[in-house]
Amino acid sequence: MKNRPIKKLLIFGTVLFVSKKIWRFLVGVKFKTKFLALKFLSIFERIWLKTLNPSVGTERWLALKELEYGGYVTNVLRNVVSNKDPRTKEQILWGGMEGGDRMSKLHKNYGKIYSKYLQPFIQRKKPVVLVEVGVLMGTGVAIWSELFPNSRIIGLDIDLSHIKQNMDNLKRKGAFKNNNLELYEFDQFQDNRKLLKAILRNDGIDICIDDGCHFDEAILSTIKSVKPYLAEEFVYFIEDNSTVHETIQKIYPEWEVENFREITIISAKKGGITMNQDDIIRVGVAARRNLDQRSYKVLMNVSGDSREFAIVPKELQTIAKRLAACLQISTRPDYIIGLAPGGIPIAVALAYELNTPLIIAYKCRLDLPDEITWSEPHCLFNTFYLYGVSSGMSVILVDDEVDNGNTLCNAIREFRRCEVQILDVACVVEVLHSGLSIGKSKLLDLNLHLKSLLQLNVDKYEK
């Protein structure tokens, strides 16, 4: 009688163990059957697509090339994962990775979407810079190398062993004839801005594809790293995540974000100048007639540059609220520092919004203590003077626009020399050259991330 509970426990444990084994066997049989069926159907799909002889870059061409370079693969081992990967060891080992399944209608059926958004880059027949995150066996980068033969194709992955093992096979099938593939190790969970800066060498990214980890955290971290290097006209594909687009829309309102179930497309908003949704920020460009080194002046309604760009107090207040929301500060600064003349109105409005004292940097030297000076290289009168900020204080630097960043970088170095802490740097308009933010890149080198509300490309105004 005393042994009955033990017997019952042993019987229950045995039944549970056997049931688990049977379930795993059935799942394995079902999985193998499905995989073999898909492989069988893929053979017929490839024959059918080949007889159609589809045009380069079309939905059917993309599907055919995916099949020709290897097609669907599954159960690829995860040899390397990020130390920030949120999955358990069991989850990492179970099932492996899948690839080569994005274009075909038998699988994810992204081909139509890729074809639509890649057409502008195909039609302009110019070299592009394409970055793919998550290359696995290399099917994707093989397609892009053939589609854009004279371009830079950059493959990023935390584990490059699979594509390297498959490289000879891909080349036998005709991939990388122009030898235009570059491969780099890349952990999506890390801050990779410096790595990308070294890789890109002043090139802007025209096309970015995230087919990597698929977790929100990894996707958002990758966007943060990639954003400073995106070209003025770009397209950004995010695969296999149906919800992250909502977060992206909130963080980056200046972008066009479209979602098609499991795939999200990001692009620059149309119209040349990226404007806020209600167009409250108005900008323009005029030629300079004085002897300054810079040939143009950015005009805007936060600095009152002309009648068309007059400051409207309520609009300025709204703009200051938006700029304040962009700041990343955990402690209140001692002062807001505004740069004269254009930075004064927005600095005043931001100081009011944050309820923080304001000091203006002028190009006028005074007989006052605690002098900090720095240069604004492109101007005829090029020296700023600031008084009253001393060692141990913390500040936020504010200007109306940031171009090549030299003025702010000079200021930051002087503040740091005087042991003044820079909590953040903000402006309303971020100027782009060939789609790149030079100022933002220089500030990143000083470990500061520029906060801005709007980007403006000035290529056509430069002499």
Confidence of residue 278 (pLDDT cuts 50, 70, 90): very low
Contact 114, 103 (CB under 8 A): yes
Amino acid symbol at 62: L
User: In whole numbers, what is the pLDDT of the chain averaged over residues?
Assistant: 85
**What pLDDT score was predicted for residue 239?**
95
Q: Within this chain, do residues 357 and 434 fall inside the same structural domain, yes or no?
A: yes
Residue whose entry in the numeric block shows the structure tokens 């402006």: 427
Structural domains of the chain, count: 2
Q: How does pLDDT run across 120-160, given as a tens digit for each residue?
A: 898 887 899 999 999 999 999 999 999 999 899 999 999 99
User: Once rounded to an integer, what is the mean pLDDT over residues 27-53?
Assistant: 63
Of 83, 74, 76, 72, nearest to 218 by C-alpha is 83
Predicted confidence (pLDDT) at residue 416 exceeds the cutoff of 90: yes
Q: Within this chain, do residues 198 and 345 fall inside the same structural domain, yes or no?
A: no
- Over pLDDT 70: what percentage of the chain? 85
Phi and psi at residue 125, in whole multiples of 5°?
55, 40
> Which has the higher per-residue pLDDT, 12 or 399?
399
Predicted confidence (pLDDT) at residue 218 exceeds the cutoff of 70: yes
245-249 CB contacts, 8 Å cutoff, 24+ apart: 247/216, 247/220, 248/220, 248/223
**Which of 268, 300, 335 corresponds to the end of one domain?**
268
**What pLDDT score was predicted for residue 318?**
92
Give the three-state DSSP class for 189: coil
User: Once rounded to an integer, what is the mean pLDDT over residues 285-291?
Assistant: 70
Confidence of residue 11 (pLDDT cuts 50, 70, 90): low
Separation of alpha carbons 377 and 399, rounded Å: 16
Q: How does pLDDT run across 170-206, given as a tens digit for each residue?
A: 999 999 988 789 999 999 999 999 999 999 998 999 9
Order of all β-strands in the sheet with 152-157: 181-185, 152-157, 129-133, 205-210, 230-239, 263-268, 255-260
> Which has the higher per-residue pLDDT, 380 or 275?
380
Predicted confidence (pLDDT) at residue 57 exceeds the cutoff of 70: yes
**What pLDDT score was predicted for residue 258?**
92
Q: Within this chain, do residues 318 and 214 fall inside the same structural domain, yes or no?
A: no
Q: Within this chain, do residues 103 and 232 fall inside the same structural domain, yes or no?
A: yes
> Which has the higher per-residue pLDDT, 4 or 110?
110
Decide if 403 is inside a domain: yes
Contact 288, 461 (CB under 8 A): no
Q: How does pLDDT run across 341-364, given as a tens digit for each residue?
A: 999 999 999 999 999 999 999 999
Decide if 280 is inside a domain: no
Kindly write down the DSSP assignment for every residue of 119-171, as one continuous string.
HHHHHTT---EEEEE--TTSHHHHHHHHHSTTSEEEEEES--HHHHHHHHHHH
User: Once rounded to an integer, what is the mean pLDDT over residues 432-436?
Assistant: 86
Q: Within this chain, do residues 49 and 107 fall inside the same structural domain, yes or no?
A: yes
Residue whose entry in the numeric block shows the structure tokens 């066009």: 256
Q: Within this chain, do residues 326 and 425 fall inside the same structural domain, yes or no?
A: yes
Confidence of residue 275 (pLDDT cuts 50, 70, 90): very low
Contact 312, 281 (CB under 8 A): no
Decide if 157 is inside a domain: yes
Decide if 121 is inside a domain: yes
Q: Within this chain, do residues 318 and 236 fall inside the same structural domain, yes or no?
A: no
Give the domain CATH number at 407: 3.40.50.2020
- The boundaries of the domain holding residue 431 are 312-461
Separation of alpha carbons 181 and 163, rounded Å: 11
Of 204, 260, 56, 236, nearest to 132 by C-alpha is 236
- Over pLDDT 90: what percentage of the chain? 56
**Which of 215, 239, 268 corresponds to the end of one domain?**
268
Q: Within this chain, do residues 66 and 180 fall inside the same structural domain, yes or no?
A: yes
* 89 membership: H or E segment, kind and range: helix 89-93
Q: Within this chain, do residues 257 and 347 fall inside the same structural domain, yes or no?
A: no
Name the CA radius of gyration of the chain, rounded. 28
> Which has the higher per-residue pLDDT, 163 or 297?
163
Q: For residue 44, count other CB atoms closer than 10 A to its CB.
A: 10
What does pTM read for this prediction?
A: 0.54
Decide if 47 is inside a domain: yes
Give the domain CATH number at 204: 3.40.50.150
User: Once rounded to an integer, what is the mean pLDDT over residues 206-235?
Assistant: 93
Decide if 67 is inside a domain: yes
Of 125, 129, 126, 108, nearest to 59 by C-alpha is 108
> Which has the higher per-residue pLDDT, 349 or 108?
349
Separation of alpha carbons 264 and 237, rounded Å: 6
In the chain, the largest separation of any two C-alpha atoms, in whole Å, equals 105
Strands (E), 240-370: 255-260, 263-268, 283-287, 296-300, 335-339, 358-361
Q: Within this chain, do residues 220 and 338 fall inside the same structural domain, yes or no?
A: no
Amino acid symbol at 135: V
Kindly write down the DSSP assignment for every residue of 95-127, as one continuous string.
S-EEES-SS-TTTT--HHHHHHHHHHHHHTT--
What b/e string do you get for 93-106 counting C-beta neighbours within 10 Å, with b at 16 or more? eeeeeebbbbbbeb
Contact 177, 207 (CB under 8 A): no
**What pLDDT score was predicted for residue 399?**
95
Give the contacts of 426 (CB within 8 A, at least 6 positions apart). Answer: 323, 326, 327, 350, 396, 397, 398, 399, 450, 451, 452
Decide if 7 is inside a domain: no
Confidence of residue 448 (pLDDT cuts 50, 70, 90): very high
> Which has the higher per-residue pLDDT, 297 or 245?
245
Decide if 295 is inside a domain: no
Q: Within this chain, do residues 247 and 98 fall inside the same structural domain, yes or no?
A: yes
Q: Which of 68-77, 119-128, 309-318 has the highest mean pLDDT?
A: 309-318
Q: Within this chain, do residues 225 and 317 fall inside the same structural domain, yes or no?
A: no
Roughly how many angstroms between the first and final C-alpha of the chain, as a whole number?
Answer: 99
> Which has the higher per-residue pLDDT, 20 or 199?
199
